[in-house]
Amino acid sequence: MGCRPRQLGIGGDDVFSRRWLGGRLVLNGWRIARGEVKLSRFMLEDCVHAVLGVSIARPSDRATTELLTGRSMVHAPGLPVDGVRGSGSGGFGGIIEILSSRCAAVLQVLSRMDVIGRSCEMANLLGIELEAVLRRGSQYRVEAVMLRIARPLGLVAPSPHASEVAQ
């Protein structure tokens, strides 16, 4: 029996959301957006509208399938085909156009929220790494401030043993 990764849950917390790339900081844009913007549903279109104030179209699964396969899918009469066509491009180029525009929208949202700038300032203020600001909780930040105050006073914070932590 092989080791299968879990499926992504509603919160998006899973093995897939913890990517590591040596020497690079990989951000999960949706996790950051959930913490910054309060929305009733977290779709890219809603987040872009709330942060940037512009509306973007969401291509339907049918439209993207038609772009990828290059043929029109049969649909029931009376049902509209709600799709977004690229600017004259079809096939794989149309899919790339859709994906690149959605990636650009995520980058614009993160830029408007100034996530990196504010996180860098907090990391500098607390004396911890940028990654720790983005990934760790408030207890880590409190301990960092406590250690920064204790060091000039010649105090050392006790490190509990594993058995003490378990109690």
- The full set of domain ranges for the chain reads 14-113, 117-167
C-alpha–C-alpha distance, residues 26 and 36, integer Å = 18
Taking the CA atoms of the chain, what radius of gyration do you get in angstroms? Answer: 23
- Between 22 and 81, name the one with better pLDDT: 22
- Between 91 and 79, name the one with better pLDDT: 91
Tell me the average pLDDT of the chain.
Answer: 76
Q: The tokens of 35 are what?
A: 């913490």
Kindly tell me the sign of the dihedral angle through the C-alpha atoms of 85, 70, 43, 77. Answer: positive
The kind and range of the H/E element at 93 are: helix 91-113
Task: Count the residues in the chain.
Answer: 167
Residue 136's identity, in one-letter code, is: R
In this prediction, residue 123 carries a pLDDT of 92
Mean per-residue pLDDT for 133-140? Answer: 86
Mean per-residue pLDDT for 63-67? Answer: 82
Kindly tell me the sign of the dihedral angle through the C-alpha atoms of 63, 65, 70, 73. Answer: negative
In this prediction, residue 90 carries a pLDDT of 61
